[in-house]
Amino acid sequence: MSETPTVVAVNGSRRDGSYGRATLQYALDAAAEYGAEPDFIDLGDPALDVPLYHPDVDAADAGDVPDLLARMRRADGVLLCSPVYHDSYSSAFRSFHDWCSFDEYDDTVVGLFAVAGGGSYGGTLEHMRATIRGVHGWVAPLQVGIRGARNKFEPWGDGERPPRARSVRGRATSSSTTPCASGR
Domain range annotation of the chain: 6-177
Tell me what percent of the residues of the chain surpass a pLDDT of 70: 81
Q: Mean pLDDT for the chain?
A: 84
pLDDT in tens, 73-129: 999 999 999 999 988 899 999 999 999 999 999 889 999 999 998 888 999 999 999
Indicate whether this model's pTM tops 0.75.
Answer: yes
Distant-in-sequence contacts of 56-59, Cβ < 8 A, 24+ apart: 59/99
Query: What is the radius of gyration, based on Cα positions, of the chain?
Result: 15
For domain 6-177, give the CATH number. Answer: 3.40.50.360
DSSP 53: P
Q: Using CA atoms, how far apart are residues 19 and 145, in angstroms rounded to an integer?
A: 12
- Model pLDDT, residue 6: 96
